[in-house]
Amino acid sequence: MQRSADETAEGLAKSFARGEDGSLEAVYRQYGHLVYTMCRRTLDESRASDVTQEVFISAWKGHQRFDPAKGTLAGWLVTITKNRIIDNIRAAKRHSERRSGTDLADIPTEAGIEQIAERMLISETLRRLPEATRRVIEMHYFDGSTHSQIAEDTSLPIGTVKSTIHRGLAKIRDQLESAYE
């Protein structure tokens, strides 16, 4: 079942790259929450909504530059989002510098935005992993369970637990590398 979800995401990416009718709406339905959440973690609600809209307008205008063979649509959108957030924050800093007495401490840094982008991309990649793989990775990295504990809790052989973690991490790494090429 997960394989068909991957195939669906791949098909959506290809139709978007070709500029097919309805693909922008489908991409927004699929990734709008990811983009908005990333914006909202660094911007106020109003600006987050505006930047989310800017991201999808930019993506649509530049859809021919997206190459599904080089990376995922989620990774490409996260990169656009990161750049739009940085542009928005730079503009806010320029504006606030013109006004005296404005505190710039609450404005996130580019490094902070980069970190948020990576977290969002990892989260999106984890969400797309098969349920069993995601659960084993979560048990190991988030719950702190050892390989032996996971094997016992899931009734999987320890070798399967190790290989599942290895394959899942490889997929996450591939997603991150493709997003930052």
Q: Round to whole Å and give the CA distance between 131 and 97.
A: 48
- Triad 80, 25, 35: Cα angle to 5°: 35
Q: Residue 47 contacts by C-beta under 8 Å, 6 or more apart in sequence?
A: 39, 88
Q: Of all residues in the chain, what percent carry a pLDDT higher than 70? A: 86
Q: Round to whole Å and give the CA distance between 32 and 56.
A: 8
By the 8 A CB rule, do 75 and 175 touch? yes
> Going from the N-terminus, what domains does the chain have, and what CATH number goes with each?
2-128 (1.10.1740.10), 131-181 (1.10.10.10)
Whether 33 shows a pLDDT value over 90: the answer reads: yes
Contacts 24+ apart (CB under 8 A), 143-148: none
The predicted structure's pLDDT at residue 100: 55
Residue type, 118: E
Q: What is the 3-state secondary structure (H, E, C) of 1-33?
A: CHHHHHHHHHHHHHHHHHCCCCHHHHHHHHHHH
Whether 23 shows a pLDDT value over 80: the answer reads: yes
pTM above 0.95, yes or no: no
Whether 178 shows a pLDDT value over 70: the answer reads: no
The continuous run of DSSP H or E covering 144 comes out as none
